[in-house]
Amino acid sequence: MHTLGDVQRIYDFLRRHPMWVDSFWAVVLLGVSGVWIVAAPDLTPASRVAAVPLSVALGLVVALRRRVPERMLLVAVATGLLQLALDVSTNPGDIAFLVIIYTCASNGARWSSRLALAAGLCAAPLSIMRWPPHGDGTTIWTTLLTTGFLIGIYALSWVVGDRLRTRRAYYAELEERAARLHREREAQSKAAVAAERARIARELHDVIAHNVSVMVVQADGAAYVLDSAPDQAKQALDTISTTGRQALAEMRRLLGLLRAGDDAGGEYVPQPGVDQLGDLIDQVRGAGLPVRFEVAGEARPLSSGVELTAYRIVQEALTNVRKHGGDGASASVLLGFGDSALDLLIEDDGRGARTDVYEHGGHDGLGQGLIGMRERIGMIGGTLVAGPRPGGGFRISAVLPLRTGR
């Protein structure tokens, strides 16, 4: 185990420092070339001397091939031309030509890859022309076969390097595509979480703002008439109790939606709709706000999204009247069933809200109800117009596209 760990550490070191590996093979190549220079019988003294710096240059090509492949290719080309000019015949050091061709094809710039291929295809014919094979059995066909074989070796080294470049680029593209898909999935997940948070925030705002405002109004009234009119105080307390139970039921429904992925059982209150608007308006009237309620057109089943949106818009609008309308304010609610849309018109004669609140949303949560209305209506493709009413007060007009069925 200890030996395997040492081998792995050596392997990791060599991967981080590839020049050490290349330098080792450069030294080996120089040693083999030195033996050839000393032992080659057909070298002239001048060629033997010239072979020394050429062998050193080829060793340098191998040692630095991965650090500066383009420059080493130019050194190799110059060395090959000098080898032809100085009559230094083919020798073991010429392996450096195959190595640099492979390196430029796999890692070098595109121009160096093309130059390496061209130089490799020219090297074999030039070598055969400069040092033609000789012997009793040498013919033109053996010369051509030898030339073709050498050209094939140089071409093969380039093909292997180019294939490695292509595969590396393919894997890099796959990694980039996977990273891009991962980023897109994260963005989609964040958007879905944000949308869900906004939906829950709208529900919580509608439930809490309405019911708590009713309870506050009733509690203030009960405290005011507790001594002078205990029956009215008792009625107000009953309203507070009923409203609190309704708020708890709504909260349980929301919790049921949040836990829909669990196997938790339990009965939850269904989502409110247009049929519950009468009860809502009766509750608001009981809290001290006069409301006139009218229905125009022929009522018919609506989709659950339209039902809930209509209910929440009326609920939020009446809550805003209580909060911003002031003493003595009254409201009217008109629900109109058209051929293709449900029209809502909620008006009051109070003092209304500040412009910055209903246009942009104020601080500390003010104006968030109108923002929630616009978001709800936008989800079902409807439109909403909210603003001051001519003659005083506030007006909310909404158009909700109808979809039959529940």
pLDDT tens-place string over residues 227-238: 777 777 777 777
Strand-pair partners of 333? 293, 346
Show the DSSP H helices in 226-303 as ranges. Answer: 230-258, 277-286
Residue 375 is predicted with a pLDDT of 80
Contact 53, 91 (CB under 8 A): no
Report the domain count for the chain. 2
**β 341-348/331-337 pair status:** antiparallel
Please, what is the Cα angle at 203 between 201 and 204, to 5 degrees?
65
**What is the Cα–Cα distance from 343 to 398, expressed in whole angstroms?**
6
Residue 44 lies in a domain: yes
For the chain, the 3-state helix, strand and coil shares in percent, each to the nearest 5, are 70, 10, 25
Considering 131, 153, 169, which residue would you say is the last residue of a domain?
131
Q: Is 173 helix (H, G, I), strand (E, B) or coil?
A: helix
Domain extent for 54: 2-131
Per-residue tokens: 20: 């050490």
Please compute, for residue 237, the number of CA atoms within 13 A of its CA located in the half-sphere on the CB side. Answer: 11
Residue 273 is predicted with a pLDDT of 84
**Which distant-in-sequence residues (6+ apart) come within 8 Å of 264 by Cβ?**
none
Q: Which of 277, 288, 276, 280 is nearest to 350 (CA)?
A: 288
**What is the Cα–Cα distance from 142 to 147, expressed in whole angstroms?**
8
Which helix (H) or strand (E) segment is 148 a member of? helix 140-225
Residue 192 lies in a domain: no
**What is the Cα–Cα distance from 4 to 7, expressed in whole angstroms?**
5
Per-residue tokens: 170: 């393919």
Residue 98 lies in a domain: yes
Per-residue tokens: 311: 């209910």
Considering 83, 98, 131, which residue would you say is the last residue of a domain?
131
Residue 248 lies in a domain: no
pLDDT in tens, the chain (406 residues): 456 666 677 767 667 777 888 888 899 999 999 999 888 887 888 888 999 999 999 999 999 999 999 999 999 999 999 999 998 888 999 999 999 999 999 998 999 999 999 999 999 899 888 888 776 666 788 888 888 998 999 999 999 999 999 999 999 899 899 888 888 888 887 887 777 677 666 666 666 666 676 677 667 777 777 777 777 777 777 777 777 777 777 676 666 656 554 444 444 446 788 888 888 888 888 877 899 999 988 888 888 788 888 888 898 888 888 877 777 888 999 999 988 899 999 999 887 665 555 555 544 444 567 777 888 788 888 899 888 888 788 899 999 988 644 4
φ, ψ at 45 (rounded to 5°): -55, -40
Residue 32 is predicted with a pLDDT of 93
Write down the pTM of the prediction: 0.52
Determine the length of the chain. 406
Helix pair 110-130, 95-106: axis angle to 10 deg: 160
Residue 260 is predicted with a pLDDT of 56
**What is the Cα–Cα distance from 315 to 280, expressed in whole angstroms?**
7
Helix pair 69-85, 110-130: axis angle to 10 deg: 20
Residue 176 lies in a domain: no
What DSSP designation does 331 have? E
CATH number for the domain harbouring residue 406: 3.30.565.10
- Neighbour count for residue 237 (Cβ, 10 Å): 15
Residue 390 lies in a domain: yes
Residue 267 is predicted with a pLDDT of 45
Contact 22, 63 (CB under 8 A): yes
Considering 84, 112, 131, which residue would you say is the last residue of a domain?
131
Residue 358 lies in a domain: yes
In angstroms, the Cα distances linking 385 to 309, 346, 377 are 15, 11, 11
Counting DSSP H helices and E strands in the chain, the numbers are 12, 5
Contact 75, 83 (CB under 8 A): no
Residue 193 is predicted with a pLDDT of 72
Residue 327 lies in a domain: yes
